[in-house]
Amino acid sequence: MTTTASNEPTLADVIEKLDRLATKVEKLSTDVEKTNDQTDRFNDKFDRYQKATQWVVQLAFTLASATITVIITSVFRVYFLVLSA
């Protein structure tokens, strides 16, 4: 780094530092864009997983309800057949 006798930076020093900062900012911008893309992909995957889980839970409750309905109907049919005999 070239400095004058009073230890003040020259215009060339300032420009050099600005160039280094600009390079770092560009790299950080690229990293932020990559992170945003990864976050978007994760959010999409999570959304699909959440919807699939909701469908599975809904299916489980529907199957349980149908099974209970079939069992209760069968029990009543047997009960009424026994009573009518």
What pTM was estimated for this model as a whole?
Answer: 0.59
Residue 72 DSSP class: H
Mean pLDDT over 36-48 rounds to 97
Q: Is 9 exposed, middle or buried (0-12, 13-18, 19+ CB in 10 A)?
A: middle
Mean pLDDT over 58-71 rounds to 97
User: Percent of the chain at pLDDT above 70?
Assistant: 93
- Residues in Cβ contact with 4 at an 8 Å cutoff, skipping those fewer than 6 apart: 10
